[in-house]
Structure 1
Amino acid sequence: MMIKRFVTLNWKIKLITLVLSVLLWSFVTFKGQTEVILELPVEFKNVPKGYELSNTSTNTVNVSISGQERIIKAIGPQDMSVYVDVDKVKPGESIVYLKNSNIKLPPSLTIKKITPSYVTLHIEELITKTVSVKPVIKGSPKKGYVISEITVSPDNVSVTGTKQSLTRRTTIETEPIDIKDATSTVEKTVPIILKNYTVASQRDTVKVTVVITGENK
Structure 2
Amino acid sequence: MKITGNKHKIFRNLDIRIVSLVLAVTLWLYASTERYYKLTFHCPVEVRNIPPGYSLARCLPPVICDIEARGKDLVAFQFKNPAVVIDAENRQIKKFKVKLTPDHLVLPFRLKARAVQFLDQEMEINLDRQTEKAVNILLDLVGDPADGLVLSDSIRYEPASALLKGPARQLEMLDAVYSAPIRVDGFSVGTLVRSALMLPDSCLFAVSPGSIDVFLRFEKSGERVFKNIPLSVINRSRDYLVSFAPGTIDLVVSGPRNVLEVAKQSDLKIVLDLKDLPPGKHQLQATIELPDKLVLIAASPRDFEVNIR
Q: Could you tell me the TM-score, scaled by structure 2's length?
A: 0.43
Displacement of 1:122 in angstroms is 1.7
Where 2:154 maps in the other structure, the secondary structure is strand
Match of 2:218 in 1: 212
State the alpha-carbon separation in 2 of the partners of residues 214 and 130 from structure 1: 35
Displacement of 1:119 in angstroms is 1.6
The 5-angstrom pairing of residues 97-112 of structure 1 reads: 97-98=99-100
The 5-angstrom pairing of residues 97-176 of structure 1 reads: 97-98=99-100, 116-146=120-150, 147-176=152-181
Residues 56-105 of structure 1: CA distance to partner in whole angstroms, max 9, x if unpaired?
465355689xxxxxxx87xx89xxx975432243554432234688689x
State the alpha-carbon separation in 2 of the partners of residues 154 and 207 from structure 1: 7
Letter matched to residue 52 of structure 2 = K
Letter matched to residue 198 of structure 2 = I
State the alpha-carbon separation in 2 of the partners of residues 103 and 143 from structure 1: 56
Where 1:215 maps in the other structure, the secondary structure is strand
Which runs of 5 or more structure 2 residues have no equivalent in the other structure? 1-36, 75-82, 107-113, 223-256, 258-309
State the alpha-carbon separation in 1 of the partners of residues 185 and 118 from structure 2: 56
State the alpha-carbon separation in 1 of the partners of residues 156 and 116 from structure 2: 63
Larger RCO (CA within 8 A; separation ≥ 6)? 1
Q: Give the fraction of aligned pairs with identical amino acids, expressed as a percent.
A: 17
Match of 1:52 in 2: 55
State the alpha-carbon separation in 2 of the partners of residues 89 and 116 from structure 1: 22
State the alpha-carbon separation in 1 of the partners of residues 135 and 105 from structure 2: 43
Distance 1:178 1:101, change over 3 A: closer
Distance 1:52 1:182, change over 3 A: same
State the alpha-carbon separation in 2 of the partners of residues 124 and 212 from structure 1: 45
Distance 1:37 1:45, change over 3 A: farther
Match of 1:199 in 2: 207
RMSD: 4.0
The 5-angstrom pairing of residues 37-116 of structure 1 reads: 44-53=47-56, 54-56=58-60, 59=63, 61=65, 84-98=86-100, 116=120
Q: Across the two proteins, how many residue pairs are aligned to each other?
A: 169
Letter matched to residue 220 of structure 2 = G
Displacement of 1:164 in angstroms is 2.5
Which structure 1 residue ranges, 4+ long, deviate > 4 Å from structure 2? 36-43, 60-64, 98-104, 110-115
Q: Which moved more, 1:43-52 or 1:171-180?
A: 43-52
Letter matched to residue 158 of structure 1 = L
Which runs of 5 or more structure 1 residues have no equivalent in the other structure? 1-35, 65-71, 105-109
